[in-house]
């Protein structure tokens, strides 16, 4: 476990004097890889030094997967409500009591139904501020669709649940951050979403997230083009000339360090992403293919723009290895660390921006006293 500590150098494997956040974990598809990875991630007792975990699921399902990993000593405390969280143990909220059919590796209606039950309970706790952050295990889009969940994934659901004006799917890794203007949109429809309004909203949200959630005071953002060779000055599409470049120019007038548009292939191939704090991609595969190639299983999906903090691993349900004790918890562990880090960063940001006039006055008084001391 300690091998993952280098991913987030703010963490140390020792008791911390600052407040431990309470982090919820949804189970994802109960026939997928989620619960196996949760057990593996939380089996190291040192994790409890960093945060207090609360799993939203079922003791019966959790025990099923615990038996499939006999080499791990995994224990938990069952809760009736969030008022009795034990900060020294892994906690479990039973979101259902009924017996259900668990079939690891199979895409079933049951798997999707109870994944959503877990998610609904966890998100409600996040909205109620009963937990400080949420890590979501993977769901499968084809078996979660219902009247209660008419969404293409976690991100649009969370936007609706929090009634957020805008959200951003932001993929993060130690060496790279990639935001998406469009997410699960067919390629033939992408161009219609590339408007000045959408670009302005997404890039502004990315800028705010980098400052508030990642502690980067003056972030540098690279914007990719939509077309091959970033439109080649209008020869291969007009969006760069008529939409993307004017938007970048406007944002620069608002004191944002925004640059581009860059041709996506050369931008990643030449390592230009290393010069920026984040990259804004126009569509899903443009951003996700290089991200998943470069992140070496340490990638995290963060939903920027919510009142609560939500992260997830950057992989899917992995039905092909579910229930076989073959899952690698690296991305989930990175998602947990990232969630804790962002929660603490928000606490620090909020504290630092309380009554700024008072802080400025105190700083001025301090400077005057220093000058007097030098004169004496």
Q: Set out the domains of the chain in order of their start, with CATH numbers.
A: 16-166+329-376 (3.40.718.10), 176-294 (3.40.718.10)
pLDDT at 81: 86
Q: In this predicted model, what pLDDT tens digit does every residue of 274-283 receive, in sequence order?
A: 999 999 999 9
Whether residue 362 has pLDDT greater than 60 = no
Q: In this predicted model, what pLDDT tens digit does every residue of 106-141 receive, in sequence order?
A: 999 999 999 999 999 999 999 999 999 999 999 999
Q: In this predicted model, what pLDDT tens digit does every residue of 30-87 receive, in sequence order?
A: 999 999 999 999 999 999 999 999 999 999 999 999 999 989 989 999 998 898 999 9
Question: What is the pLDDT confidence band of residue 359, given thresholds at 50, 70 and 90?
Answer: low
Q: In this predicted model, what pLDDT tens digit does every residue of 231-246 receive, in sequence order?
A: 888 899 999 999 999 9
**Distance separating alpha carbons of residues 29 and 147, to the nearest angstrom:** 18
**Bridge partners, residue 223, by sequence:** 280
Over the chain, what is the mean pLDDT?
89
pLDDT at 1: 36
CB 329 within 8 A of CB 1: no
pLDDT at 352: 86
Count of all residues that appear for the chain in the document: 376
When pLDDT is averaged across residues 16-26 and rounded to a whole number, the result is: 84
When pLDDT is averaged across residues 93-116 and rounded to a whole number, the result is: 95
Q: In this predicted model, what pLDDT tens digit does every residue of 139-194 receive, in sequence order?
A: 999 999 888 899 989 999 999 999 999 999 999 998 899 999 999 899 999 999 99
Q: Which of 30, 97, 47 is nearest to 337 (CA)?
A: 47
Q: In this predicted model, what pLDDT tens digit does every residue of 332-341 receive, in sequence order?
A: 999 999 999 9
Work out the widest C-alpha separation in the chain, in whole angstroms.
Answer: 80
Give the C-alpha distances (Å, rounded to integers) separating 300 from 14, 148, 178, 362: 24, 27, 10, 39
Q: Please give the share of the chain, as a percent, with pLDDT higher than 90.
A: 77
Tell which wins on pLDDT, 356 or 127: 127
Q: Which of 302, 285, 264 is nearest to 185 (CA)?
A: 285
**Distance separating alpha carbons of residues 337 and 330, to the nearest angstrom:** 11
Cβ neighbours around 113 below 10 Å, total: 18
First vs last C-alpha separation in the chain? 56
pLDDT at 8: 42
CB 137 within 8 A of CB 38: yes
Question: What is the pLDDT confidence band of residue 363, given thresholds at 50, 70 and 90?
Answer: low
Question: What is the pLDDT confidence band of residue 297, given thresholds at 50, 70 and 90?
Answer: confident
Strand, helix or coil for residue 191: helix
**Residue 192, burial from CB neighbour count under 10 angstroms (0-12, 13-18, 19+):** exposed
Q: Which of 151, 84, 17 is nearest to 136 (CA)?
A: 151
Q: Which of 109, 105, 39 is nearest to 74 (CA)?
A: 39
Q: Which of 257, 254, 252 is nearest to 221 (CA)?
A: 257
pTM for this model (two decimals)? 0.87
pLDDT at 60: 95
Residues in Cβ contact with 34 at an 8 Å cutoff, skipping those fewer than 6 apart: 26, 27, 28, 137, 138, 317
């Amino acid at each position: 476990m300690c091998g993952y500590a280098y991913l987030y150098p703010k963490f140390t494997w020792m008791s911390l004097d600052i407040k431990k956040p309470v982090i919820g974990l949804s189970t994802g598809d109960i026939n997928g890889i989620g619960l196996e990875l949760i057990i593996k991630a939380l089996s190291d007792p040192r994790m409890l030094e960093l945060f207090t975990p609360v799993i939203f699921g079922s003791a019966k399902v959790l025990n099923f997967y615990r038996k499939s990993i006999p080499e791990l000593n995994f224990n938990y405390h069952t809760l009736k409500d969030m008022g009795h969280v034990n900060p020294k143990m892994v906690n479990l909220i039973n979101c259902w009591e009924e017996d259900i059919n668990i079939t690891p590796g199979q895409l079933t209606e049951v798997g999707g139904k109870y994944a959503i039950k877990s998610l609904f309970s966890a998100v409600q706790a996040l909205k109620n501020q009963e937990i400080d952050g949420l890590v979501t295990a993977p769901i499968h889009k084809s078996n979660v669709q219902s009247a209660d969940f008419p969404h293409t994934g976690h991100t649009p659901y969370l936007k609706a649940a929090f009634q957020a004006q805008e959200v951003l799917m932001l993929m993060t890794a130690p060496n790279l951050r990639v935001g998406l203007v469009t997410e699960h949109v067919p390629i033939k429809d992408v161009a219609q979403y590339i408007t000045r309004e959408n670009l302005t909203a997404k890039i502004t949200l990315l800028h705010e997230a980098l400052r508030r959630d990642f502690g980067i005071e003056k972030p540098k953002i690279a914007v990719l083009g939509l077309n091959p060779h970033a439109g080649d000055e209008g020869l291969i599409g007009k969006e760069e000339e008529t939409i993307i470049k004017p938007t970048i120019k406007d944002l620069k007038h608002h004191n944002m360090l925004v640059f581009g548009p860059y041709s996506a292939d050369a931008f990643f191939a030449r390592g230009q992403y290393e010069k920026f704090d984040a990259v804004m991609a126009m569509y899903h595969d443009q951003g996700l293919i290089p991200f998943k190639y470069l992140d070496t299983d340490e990638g995290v999906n963060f939903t920027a723009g919510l009142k609560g903090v939500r992260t997830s691993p950057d992989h899917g349900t992995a039905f092909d290895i579910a229930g076989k004790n073959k899952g690698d918890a690296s991305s989930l562990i990175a998602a947990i660390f990232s969630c804790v880090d962002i929660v603490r960063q928000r606490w620090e940001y909020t504290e630092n921006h309380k009554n700024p006039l008072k802080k400025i006055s105190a700083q001025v008084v301090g400077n005057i006293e220093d000058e007097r001391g030098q004169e004496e």
